[in-house]
Structure 1
Amino acid sequence: MHAYGSWLVIGAEVGGLRVGDMLFALVSFAILLFLLRKYAWGPLLNKMEERENHIASEIDIAEKNRTEAEKASREAAEQLKQTRQEAQSIIEEAKKAGQNQERDILESARQAAERIKKSAQEEIEQEKEKAIKALQDQVASLSVQIASKVIEKEINAQDQEKLINEYIKEVGEER
């Protein structure tokens, strides 16, 4: 048995390794490897695959959100630009309306001033005509009075001039 047992021990001089122990260790390792593969490696790989899918899904969602945010940002910038243009056009329209209104007001004021001026000129003309008519009436009246006085008494040139001056004075006072 010693001969049979000697090949089972490798390097027996130094303390050696026994083949039976090695076979037991290999079989135990194979069983452990099989059990690990069945109960630990499979679930571990499944968990890692789930984690990988979850991360990929999160990356896809983040990329989609980033794309949507960029799109929303571009749309907001476009709307802001459009709003600014609309505000600028409203301001321009208001300026034009203000200028038109100013021009209309000035034109109305000018027309009113023209009407007032024309009315005043007509009134002045009427008053002038009245004054001329009144003056003519007074001159005619004075002429009649002077003639009647001259007829009543004959006077010399000096008296006649004095008489005319008195009547002119009277006319001036009556005014």
Structure 2
Amino acid sequence: MDQLLNDFSPGLFFMQAIILLILIVLMRKFAWKPILNSLQDREDGIKNALQSAENAKLEMQNLQADNDRLLQEARLERETMLKEARDMKAKMIEDAKNEAQAEANKLVASAQASIEAEKKAAIAELKSQVAHLSIDIAEKVVREELSSKDKQMKLVESMLGEATLN
């Protein structure tokens, strides 16, 4: 250390101090500002990235909420459609039953009307045959000369024996 003190030169010291100050000024002007600017840019980039990540997280939460809401709406719509389909099926079955019942009632009414018409036709035919038989009997009775009751009875019995009902 004694040697350092002996070799100390104040002119050299001031020159070195001035060079150091010039070097610091140059460094500050050309090196520190770009370094600080790049550090600030990097810090801003990290802040922007964190903000973007936070925004993306919020957007993902919103999308998840929207997806959940859409899923719930789709479930409700599906349940509504299934209920409508079941109701429509029940209505179609009920309509088919009612239509079949109406058709059956119509067929029964038609059959009853047909039976009634055939019954009336049969009765009319029977009346017609009875009227013809009565007319035939009366005609034969009138043609004969009837002098006694025995002959009349005999004639009526023979006529009844000859008459056949179809």
Q: TM above 0.5, one fold?
A: yes
Which residue in the other structure is 2:8 paired with? 19
Q: 2:99 aligns with which of 108, 111, 114?
A: 108
Q: Partner residue of 1:167? A: 163
Asked if 1:52 is matched to 2:48, the reply is no
Pick 1 or 2: higher relative contact order, CA cutoff 8 A, min separation 6: 2
Residue in structure 1 matching 2:134, options 110, 127, 143: 143
* Root mean square deviation, CA, Å: 3.3
What is the TM-score of this pair, normalised by structure 2? 0.73
> In structure 1, what is the Cα distance between the partners aligned to 2:157 and 2:7?
184
- 5+ residue gaps in structure 2? none
**Hey, what's the Cα distance between the residues in 2 that align with 1:73 and 1:10?**
78
Deviates more, 1:140-149 or 1:52-61: 140-149
Distance 1:17 1:111 in 2: 135
Q: 1:39: how far off?
A: 2.2
Asked if structure 2 preserves the Cα contact closer than 8 Å seen for 1:11 and 1:17, the reply is yes
Matched to 1:79, the amino acid is: L
SS in 1 for 2:9: helix
Shift of 1:148: 4.7
**Given the alignment of the two structures, is residue 79 of structure 1 paired with residue 75 of structure 2, yes or no?**
no
- The corresponding residue for 1:99 is 90
Q: Distance in 2 between matches of 1:165 and 1:73?
A: 106
Q: Cα distance 1:96–1:102, how it changes in 2: closer, same or farther (>3 A)? A: same
The count of residues paired between Structure 1 and Structure 2 equals 157
- Deviation string 1:22-73 (CA, Å, 9 cap, x unpaired) is 8379624454344323321222112101210122012112211221122022
What whole-Å deviation, never above 9, does each CA across 1:103-123 have from its counterpart, x for those lacking one? Answer: 122202211221221122022
Q: Which runs of 4+ in 1 moved over 6 A?
A: none
